[in-house]
Amino acid sequence: MQQIIKSKHIVQDVEKVVKNIHHDRLFILVDENTNSFCYPLMDSSETLAKAKRIVIPAGDTHKTLENLSSIWKQLTENGATRHSLLVNLGGGMITDMGGFAAATFKRGIACINVPTTLLGAVDAAVGGKTGINFDGYKNEVGAFYSAGFVLISSDFFKTLSLTEILSGYAEMIKHSLIHSQTDWNKLLAFPFDDINYEELNELSFRSVSIKQRIVEKDPYEKDIRKALNLGHTVSHAFESFAIEKNTPVPHGFAVAWGLIAELYLSCRLCDFPKEKLHKTAVFVQHHYGAFPIACDDYERLYEIMTHDKKNEDSAINFTLLSDIGNVKINQNVDKAMIFEALDFYRDSVGV
């Protein structure tokens, strides 16, 4: 079972975990940003100082087969064996790709995740989903492969811009929607103009705990883990469309926008309360702005949705809600209703 550690002393905790995992060689994967801004927070670690550092370009657009191949190559050239250990130090792109590299190299080597972004901490680092983008589609190729440990520290959150914090916060809002109104109310009241990082760390750990409990019940997404897909059918379409247009958007912003559309579907098809839809939409519009789409884009967005991994046969599969904490998985939605939800999204964010 994946162990989640709420770290107050990240260097000491990483050293303790690494020393407790038998390995012959140690590698640390970073991107150019985390190499510059986050690795220095770890430079007092004698253990990590001995590791071979693998640096790849930053950004989700670089979560590619070419960069995955580069990781494999550097592992091979530096003598990695099936008994080696990979530390993934970075945001969601690093833990996604590093996890997939660990899953596939020598048919699987041990890895641990040290997320440096709020998004990475509450989403990608936990739950064992790994992968890369392929042929223009988000996370098209991947595997379920859990890091043995995930260490979460707010020390890294202090290095983040407000945009990066909001990107992770959208996943936290999703977790609250599938869990409880108390969590949802608390998250919508958080003051972003005066961030309390200790409180943010507590909220993030609470969010991770919600996800972990779901994953433990259904590690391979056969049933209740599908609850975690709320907002993501539309958001992945927005992300892929943005990449096509060479205007990539942060994953969490796409999730926030996707939540508006999918809560609208929840309202229309599952009687989700209208006032909670509108309260969430107002929060998203205020903090996340808008992803500009036009009616002429709907056909392409729909086509992208047909490639979503959650689909069965030709039906587009959604996770919806009848209320906060009341999840309805495996909801098939027709094209006309999806277009209606995109209309609502555009009206809500002022596109």
Q: Which residues on neighbouring strands pair with residue 331, listed in sequence order? A: 318
Domain ranges for the chain, please list them.
3-157, 162-349
- Tokens encoding 252: 């969490």
**Cα(326)–Cα(344) distance, integer angstroms:** 22
What would be the CATH architecture of the domain defined by 3-157? 3-Layer(aba) Sandwich (3.40)
Whether the CB-CB separation of 28 and 51 falls below 8 Å is answered with yes
Confidence bin at 313 (pLDDT 50/70/90): low
pLDDT at 350: 87
Whole-model pTM?
Answer: 0.87
Angle between helical axes of 274-288 and 335-349 (0-180°, round to 10): 60
Pairing of strands 85-90, 26-31: parallel
- Minimal CA–CA distance to 342: which of 233, 252, 253? 233
Quick: pLDDT tens for 224-282: 999 999 999 999 999 999 989 999 899 999 999 999 999 999 999 999 999 999 999 99
Residue-averaged pLDDT of the chain: 94
- Minimal CA–CA distance to 85: which of 18, 14, 12? 18
For residue 207, count other CB atoms closer than 10 A to its CB.
26
**Cα(177)–Cα(179) distance, integer angstroms:** 5
Quick: pLDDT tens for 58-69: 988 899 999 999
CA distances from 271 to 263, 268, 335, 347 (A): 10, 6, 19, 20
pLDDT at 125: 87
**What would you measure as the largest C-alpha separation in the chain, in angstroms?**
59
**Cα(258)–Cα(246) distance, integer angstroms:** 19
**Cα(312)–Cα(226) distance, integer angstroms:** 13
Confidence bin at 218 (pLDDT 50/70/90): very high
Dihedrals φ, ψ of 182, to 5°?
A: -60, -45
Looking at the chain, the whole-number percentage of residues with pLDDT higher than 90 is 82
**Cα(223)–Cα(218) distance, integer angstroms:** 6
**Cα(40)–Cα(36) distance, integer angstroms:** 7
- The CATH class given to the 162-349 domain equals mainly alpha
**Cα(95)–Cα(101) distance, integer angstroms:** 10
